[in-house]
Amino acid sequence: MKKVWTRIAGSALLPFLSFLLAFIISGFFIAFSDATVLKNIGHPGKFITSALSTVGNAYLALFQGSIFDPNLTAGHGFMRGFYPLSETIVTATPLILTGLAVALAFQSGLFNIGAQGQFIFGAIGASYVGFHFTFTPVLHVILAIVAGVLCAAIYGGIVGLLKARTGAHEVIVTIMLNYIAGFFILWILKTTAFLRPRRIDPIAPEVNPSAQLPHLAGENFRLHAGILIALVAAYFVWWVLNRTTVGFQFRAVGANASAAKTAGISVSKVTIWTMSLCGALAGLGGAVHVLGSQYALTADIGGSFGFDAITVALLGRAKPFGTVLAALLFGALRTGGRTMQSNTTTPLDIVLVIQALIVLFIASPTLVRFIFKVKNLKTNAAMTAKGWNG
């Protein structure tokens, strides 16, 4: 048991230290972008206290806005204080799924930048089945999700097919397909099949109540069943990778494609399967996002879920469990940033700085090792490099 814990601590050390460094450096940004702090720059004592209180307030608001806010409990009971946590989970749910789509690709040596496009196709499929048909509640949700997953699996599969048959690099292909998905949704929202009646701006009708994912904690919280789906998906990915022959083949190709080929594994088959499965995961994210919290398809439904997914997968070291944690962290930063901006004067954009710094440090373990004087810092450099060498 002790061995397991040391292993977890070992692999979590780099993300944790990167996280810490990112927060410290962002603290400087927060302090130096604040008008009152800058006003005191001539008086060292006053400057330091005002800088510390500004940064402290900002991070306190970040916590209040993402985990627990005592101000919300008044008149609503203690549990209402956890409303921010429920919002964190709602934001993290699609991120977990898109993150898994990138992580799984990493595991078999592919760099999936196309989670954004796959997410959009998943959302389109789920939305169409959601608003266009009426079925009995449980069946309707399942059918809508399946439709989204299928659309996205095919969209992801195209990448695998192109790579396997023609050798086209998946990075280029997925980037291009993201553009296609972005313009496709703009176009499809203008067609009579999708455009909401009496509207001319790109928005689809809301999905029928029978296709909406049930709320988990009552109507006061937006928390929906999507998080359960995401956790099951994470377990599924872990199970496939570690407990099945297919998963072994995925990892074998990821570790060394030539060796895997010599051992009799069909690399092209694995590529097609991986990309379809990645597409399915990202599409599930899109479906859950539409059926769980948005209900109506809009042109910007994809947000930046597909791009943040790359960061999330990197932070989670391309492991399913790590990806879940990383997505929750990003969800917390996003929701907390909102409170930070409205309670203090610190702009929401500082969250993007924190995110970017985390990635920067994770990608440069030597720097982290140097700063903290840690010797045996476990890195996963192979993972990041493999994607490019394909």
Partner 1 sequence: MKKTLKYLSAVAALALVTGVAVAPASHAAKIKACVVLDTGGVDDHSFNAGAWAGAQSTSAIADVSYLPSSSAADFAPNIKKFLDQKCAIIIGVGFSISGEIVKAGKANPGTKFAVVDDSAMDCNADYSVCNAVANVKGLTFSTDQAAFQAGYLAAGYSKTGTVATYGGAPYPTVTIFMDGYAKGVAYYNKAKGKNVKVLGWDPVKKTGTFVGDFSNTSKASQLSQGFEQQGADVIMPVAGGLGGSTAKESQTSGKSVTIWVDTDGYLSAPQYGSVLLTTVAKGLGAAVKSVITDVKKGTFTGSAYVGTLANGGVSISPLHDFASKVPSRLQLEVKMIGRQIASGSLKI
Burial of 66 (0-12, 13-18, 19+ CB in 10 A): buried
Q: Which of residues 270-299 bind partner 1 (CB under 8 A)?
A: 289, 293-294, 298
What is the closest distance, in whole angstroms, from the C-beta atom of residue 253 to partner 1 in the complex?
35
Which of 215, 222 has the CB closer to partner 1?
Answer: 222
What is the closest distance, in whole angstroms, from the C-beta atom of residue 190 to partner 1 in the complex?
8
- Tell me the chain's radius of gyration from C-alpha atoms: 22
State yes or no: residue 193 binds partner 1 (CB under 8 A): no
Instruction: Give the one residue of 99, 122, 157, 202 binding partner 1; rule: CB under 8 A.
Output: 202
Instruction: Give the one residue of 53, 266, 268, 364 binding partner 1; rule: CB under 8 A.
Output: 53
Which of 205, 390 has the CB closer to partner 1?
Answer: 205
State yes or no: residue 324 binds partner 1 (CB under 8 A): no
Inter-residue contact 249 to 65 (CB < 8 Å): no
Inter-residue contact 45 to 17 (CB < 8 Å): no
What is the closest distance, in whole angstroms, from the C-beta atom of residue 302 to partner 1 in the complex?
8
Tell me the window of 2-10, 164-172, 224-232, 332-340 that interacts with partner 1 (CB under 8 A). Answer: 332-340
Comparing C-alpha atoms, which of 131, 101, 105, 135 is closest to residue 117?
101
Q: Which of residues 358-377 bind partner 1 (CB under 8 A)?
A: 372-374
As a whole number of angstroms, the longest Cα–Cα distance in the chain is 71
State yes or no: residue 224 binds partner 1 (CB under 8 A): no
CA distance 285 to 361: 27
Inter-residue contact 259 to 86 (CB < 8 Å): no
Query: What residue ranges bind partner 1 (CB under 8 A)?
Result: 20, 24, 27, 49-50, 52-53, 55-57, 59-60, 65, 69, 71-72, 87, 183, 186, 196-203, 205-206, 222, 289, 293-294, 298, 300-304, 335, 338-339, 341-344, 348, 372-374
